[in-house]
Structure 1
Amino acid sequence: MSDRINISSGSPYEAQMGYSRAVRKGDFVFVSGTTAGDVGENAADQAREVFRRIGAALEQAGASLSDVVRTRVYLADIADFDAVGDVHGEVFGEIRPSIVILAVVGLAAPGLKVEIEADALI
């Protein structure tokens, strides 16, 4: 019997592209790149929504934000580094996972400013 659990957000892209919002395998939880969709006009607001969505996926997998050991942050504009970094600090100030922040050419849809992945160890 497999100990793999796939978590869905209900996005139509999951079936189309063959992925899950998050996957739990044993004590590990891997949360896919997550965006804010149409929530939030600036990068900080989008990051807050992203972390809300990541937290919900982790909860479905039996984990929480306090279990996060690594994040990957993708920015459409490196000028948002401090704004998104501050939100990351609000969420993970005492948890202090490892992190990488990268500027990318673009994200999946116009208006998206940030996409974040998270790995957790329960």
Structure 2
Amino acid sequence: MTQDRQLISNGNPMEAIVGFSRAVRVGNFIAVGGTAPVGADGKTVGIGDVYAQTCQCFEIIKAALEQAGSGLEDIVRTRVILTDIDNWKPAIEARKQYCLEARPVDTIMAINRFVNPEWLVEIEVDAVIAE
């Protein structure tokens, strides 16, 4: 590992078992992996509510970015991944609260399911810290 590679953890015990990080910073680039709507207690937040789940995902992302020395203003790309594409409007309404100023590029897509069937959405972001 190079010295400019910083691994960001949120304490998920699966990180070490599976071999992943919540986020990775290399230089001024930060990638935040698929972020699920999980609370500090390990339980799904906002069961059945895509808006609440999207907000929870962005709160986790915000904390990871801050831990990496960044913030929401540095987001350049978001990926909103849904289990039902018809939920895109409430997901985007929630995303707007966190990304309106940065105005990153965005991809919205749907998949069949997540590992946990209670999850309606996962979010990924990339951020670049201006030099």
Q: Quick check: 1:19 aligned with 2:20? A: yes
Partner of 2:66: 59
Shift of 1:40: 1.1
Q: Quick check: 1:44 aligned with 2:51? A: yes
Which letter does structure 2 place at the counterpart of 1:39? V
Which letter does structure 2 place at the counterpart of 1:24? R
TM-score (norm 2): 0.90
**Can you give the 5+ residue segments of structure 1 that lack an aligned partner in the other structure?**
none
Partner of 2:41: none
Percent identity, aligned pairs only, is 44
Partner of 1:88: 95
Partner of 1:108: 115
Q: Aligned residue pairs: how many?
A: 122
Aligned equivalents of 1:13, 1:101: Cα separation in 2: 26
**Can you give the 5+ residue segments of structure 2 that lack an aligned partner in the other structure?**
39-43
Q: Quick check: 1:98 aligned with 2:96? A: no
Shift of 1:53: 0.3
After superposition, where does 1:69-84 map in structure 2 within 5 Å?
Answer: 69-84=76-91
**Residue range with higher mean Cα deviation, 45-54 or 5-14:** 5-14
Indicate the SS of the match to 1:32: strand
Structure 1 vs Structure 2 CA RMSD: 0.9
Moved over 2 A (4+): none
Indicate the SS of the match to 1:55: helix
